[in-house]
Amino acid sequence: AKVEYCTGLYDEARQSAREVVENATSLVDKMDVVFTTMNLLSAQHQHDEALDFGLGVLRQLGQTFPLKPCKPGLAADFVKTKKALGKRTDDDILRLPRCTDDKVIATMRLLSAIAALAHIRSHSCAMLFSHVAFRIVRLTLSHGLTNASAHGFACFGGIYSVVGDHENAGRYGDVGLNLMRLLGARDVECRVGVILGSSITPFRDNLRRAGQELTESYRAGLETGDIAMAGLTRMLAIYVDYYSGERLPIVMKQCDELIDQMSHFKADTVARLTAIYRGMISNLTGDSSTRNTNPAKLERIPVPPGKEITEENKVIENRVHYMSECFLQLHFEDWENLESNIKILTKQHPIRPGSFLHFVSSYTIAMCYFELFKVTGKRKYLKKAKELWRVLRKYEVDGNPNVGHLVRLCEAEIMSFSQQQPETVKIAYDTAISTSEMWGDVRNKSRCNELACKYFMRQGDYPLAKKYLEAALADYDRWGAVAKVSWLRRRYAELLEGSVAPRRMQPRKKSSRLLME
């Protein structure tokens, strides 16, 4: 059954699974087919069905969870787990004996599978994820180490990341990683890797290192048959590459490969989510196969005849679609639609703390708010942008090495609205540009140059604005954003041709309001 599942023969795998269940003599004997059945459902993104099935089997093993988890109950479970850990050091945990009870081993293995599903369904199963992680940790302490212990401790670290305790997040993430290596737990490598790569490494190491971890974990997931988690992991790795300034043609190729891989396994949701992201990138590159007459508009992915999308998956698709379309509207100055989309995105699809997606999304939304303030003059947008800048600044103060260059551009934008002289604002933009260059983020460096150009256009210093624009064009071209380069050349044709007459720079008056350029 597992071989048929791993080769995408799902109907045959179901039949084989039924035969195993009919001939098994005990629940423990049936566990392998239980996991295959859960993987079958999960790979086809029937996560709710997979969770219900797994929780049902777990009840037969004597493990239950609250039907309606609540924050007080979760807090009590956390305290119980901390009490069980006591004053154990990391070495004490690593020296725990191996578990020899087959029932406990099967139980913890199932708990790990349920934690993985709850992680995929993070926005609706966050509390279940935490309860399961706590249970794995306590079972490890009372019964000994199993492969699932590595995943449980990594999840425990991920929970600390959500509440902003990145020191303990790193500590328990490392415990999970070291347990995985100690036990040779290849079967949970993808699950451990996705926690480390998305929720722990990005807060203490270069984001590209997190991308490498995610890519390695993706390969492990494919090899061990953890298809749904592998798909999520690779998709996150692609996001990391995009936000790190990887060249867009390379990111697009990665999207194509993942779409093909997930289509082979009939994992339609991952394929569709990746296709949405690919559509955004193709609008930036001007890819001829998907060229859109309006690069700021992201086309919806059609649903194939006879296929249905669950409400849960619609929510996920909408989140990815709105965020991707906001990127495009920001780049191609579709302010009217950006204003409505950003409202939908922030109210209906907020991204919670605990992963790199939180700080990169906070930055992108802050950039949207800065532009909306320039266009509308509504101070609420500047206020919201500053709130997000403070979030990013807190990450920087806490030691996150991936946000400094983002914080510097936010500060340059804030300074551009103040009473500072243009020479001072220029220093702020140049600092943002140089820090982006040092970090290796050509994507952000090009944005810095573009915004500096806009600022000096407003100031009337056209020669300096042209200098920044030419630098932006070179950086966008290096990034692979061909359509963006063409759009900028049309947008600022007069500036590039030198036909815009320079005027003397004037200090900003206190009563001045920013209008659309």
What is the residue extent of each domain of the chain? 2-202, 395-497
pLDDT at 517: 37
Per residue in 54-100, pLDDT (tens digit) is: 898 899 889 999 878 899 999 999 999 999 999 999 999 999 999 99
Per residue in 144-157, pLDDT (tens digit) is: 999 999 999 999 99
pLDDT at 120: 81
40 falls in which pLDDT band (50, 70, 90)?
confident
pLDDT at 44: 66
pLDDT at 9: 55
Q: Residue 236 pLDDT more than 80? A: yes
The residue ranking higher by pLDDT, 352 or 443, is 443
What topology does CATH give the domain 395-497? 1.25.40
The residue ranking higher by pLDDT, 2 or 457, is 457
Pick the CATH number of 2-202 from 1.25.40, 1.10.20, 1.10.10, 3.40.50: 1.25.40
Nearest to 293 by CA among 306, 283, 308: 283
Percent of the chain with pLDDT over 70: 89
pLDDT at 507: 42
pLDDT at 506: 41
Give the chain's length.
517
- pTM > 0.85: yes
- Of 18-22, 171-175, 346-350, the poorest mean pLDDT is in 18-22
pLDDT at 508: 41
Per residue in 502-517, pLDDT (tens digit) is: 544 344 443 334 333 3
Nearest to 256 by CA among 283, 233, 238: 238
Q: Residue 323 pLDDT more than 90? A: yes
Name the H helices within 147-267.
Answer: 147-162, 166-183, 189-195, 207-224, 227-243, 248-264
Residues 45-60, buried b or exposed e (16+ Cβ, 10 A)?
bbbebbbebbbebbee
pLDDT at 477: 98
348 falls in which pLDDT band (50, 70, 90)?
confident
Q: Residue 18 pLDDT more than 80? A: no
Q: Residue 327 pLDDT more than 90? A: yes
Q: Residue 219 pLDDT more than 70? A: yes
Average pLDDT, the chain: 89
Measure the CA–CA gap between 269 and 319, rounded to whole angstroms. Answer: 13
Q: How many CB atoms lie within 10 A of CB 12?
A: 14
Confirm whether 2-202 and 395-497 share one CATH topology.
yes
Q: Residue 480 pLDDT more than 70? A: yes
Rounded mean pLDDT, 122-134 = 86
Instruction: Name residue 98's beta-bridge partners.
Output: 145
Nearest to 243 by CA among 364, 410, 395: 364
Q: Residue 232 pLDDT more than 70? A: yes
pLDDT at 288: 54
Contacts of 458 (CB under 8 A, 6+ apart): 514, 517
